[in-house]
Chain A
Amino acid sequence: MQYNKRNENGFSIVALEGDVDFHSSREARQVLLEIVKEKGDMLIDMSKVEYIDSSGIACLVEAFQESKTAGTKFGLVSVQGTARRVLELARLEQIFPIYSSISEIEAS
């Protein structure tokens, strides 16, 4: 897994790339929780995630829960393929704010 972090319009945008799995999800968790700790609003760009397992989804859930506690904003962008199917199976797509693109958020 690789990730790219940038700031845009007051949001920390984390673009995850590749496989978010047992091997890499610890790192992903650290990155996401660090942003919450800094009281930052966060968007996670999932458009380049090729595969995500349940440990990766668990990172997203934890970051979402922590951001709610911290009172910061959290959202997922461009969730596709396996990631979307797993979120649907766990009915998490009803819980997470999910956007089709960054431009959709800017427009809203």
Chain B
Amino acid sequence: MNRHPPFPSGLPNSPDNKEKERIIEVENLVVQYPGNPEPTLKGIDFHVYSGEIMVIMGGSGSGKSTLLRQLIALDKPNSGSIRLFGKNIVKIPPLDLHDLRLRMGVAFQGGAMFNSMTVGENLLLPLREHLNLAETQMEIMSRMKLSFVNLDMSTLDKMPSELSGGMLKRAALARAIVMDPLLLFCDEPSAGLDPAVSAAIDDLIIKLRDALNMTIVVVTHERTSAFKIADRITILDRGEILKVGTLDELQNSKNQRVQDLLIGNAENVDVNAWL
């Protein structure tokens, strides 16, 4: 596993794009939940380059949450492969998956903090569990990450339930990056936040890519955020990839469905389904 991504940041469509290291490679991924007549993901193929921000967009029912669960190895697909850092996580031994997870961070939509612990304890937990470092060092690391996300140090002593929505999202992000992951997944990082807080989180995601060369996958339905932060965007529609490209490429697409999704006009209900 390459700890030092060889490319400075995910510049979209740069001439050397083809030579960039692929951190995520998804091939022909099919997921069908029991009882569902149709697969939720119908043969997904896409890849994410080192140091880029890939945004996965799509309406409700498009399959983006299912895809995220697959990417972070919470679920197994019916078929297909997902390679993270070159390792197929569909067939990986549990110990190797554990090692891989140490280099991944996930900021869940609802924060997923332990409610019985303070924010500080939540941040320290993975450090204490996985690293053999002095306590002072780990405390400084968690304070540093809180500073990265622009949260006051008094937040460390607060319980997650005492935080506002925006603060909780930032604290979740701080915990997701506390172990210096190479690969960060963010599930709806700015959903439900006011525009100013949402913009601050977008800026932070960009800073993490630029400063730390992090590869970041953001799942969102917030178009403003997606357009601001994405190096490339994957548009999912009814379990299939409609288009992958830079914002310019998507905006220049002749596909009407892509255009509808970009401007938010797309209906998610297939008319044929109820006729």
Q: Which residues of A are at the interface with B, using a C-beta cutoff of 8 A?
A: 19, 21-22, 25-26, 29, 50-51, 53-55, 57-59, 61-62, 82, 85-86, 88-92
Query: Given A61-B140, A85-B211, A86-B212, are A55 and B133 neighbors across the interface (CB < 8 Å)?
Result: yes
Distance A57 CA – B141 CA, assembled complex (angstroms): 8
Query: By the criterion CB–CB under 8 Å, are A62 and B136 in contact?
Result: yes
Among A55, A85, A92, point to the contact of B212 (Cβ < 8 A).
Answer: A85
Distance A82 CA – B136 CA, assembled complex (angstroms): 23
Distance A54 CA – B136 CA, assembled complex (angstroms): 13
Smallest CB gap from B146: residue in A = A90
Which residues 5-51 of B sit at the A interface, judged by CB distance below 8 A? none
Query: Given A51-B4, A53-B180, A55-B131, are A89 and B148 neighbors across the interface (CB < 8 Å)?
Result: yes
Residues of B near A21 (CB, < 8 A) are: 3
Q: Say yes or no: is B250 at the interface (Cβ < 8 Å to chain A).
A: no
Smallest CB gap from A51: residue in B = B4
Distance A24 CA – B4 CA, assembled complex (angstroms): 16
Smallest CB gap from A59: residue in B = B137
Q: Say yes or no: is B223 at the interface (Cβ < 8 Å to chain A).
A: no
Q: Which residues of B are at the interface with A, using a C-beta cutoff of 8 A?
A: 3-4, 131-134, 136-138, 140-141, 144-145, 147-148, 178, 180, 207-208, 210-213
Residues of B near A55 (CB, < 8 A) are: 131, 133, 137, 141, 180
Query: By the criterion CB–CB under 8 Å, are B141 and A58 in contact?
Result: yes
Distance A55 CA – B3 CA, assembled complex (angstroms): 15
Residues of A near B178 (CB, < 8 A) are: 54
Residues of A near B134 (CB, < 8 A) are: 26, 29
Query: Given A25-B137, A59-B137, are A54 and B145 neighbors across the interface (CB < 8 Å)?
Result: yes
Least CB distance from A21 to B in Å reads: 8
Smallest CB gap from A22: residue in B = B131
Distance A57 CA – B148 CA, assembled complex (angstroms): 13
A53, A55, A61, A88, most chain B CB atoms within 10 A: A55
Query: Given A51-B3, A55-B131, A57-B144, are A62 and B137 neighbors across the interface (CB < 8 Å)?
Result: yes
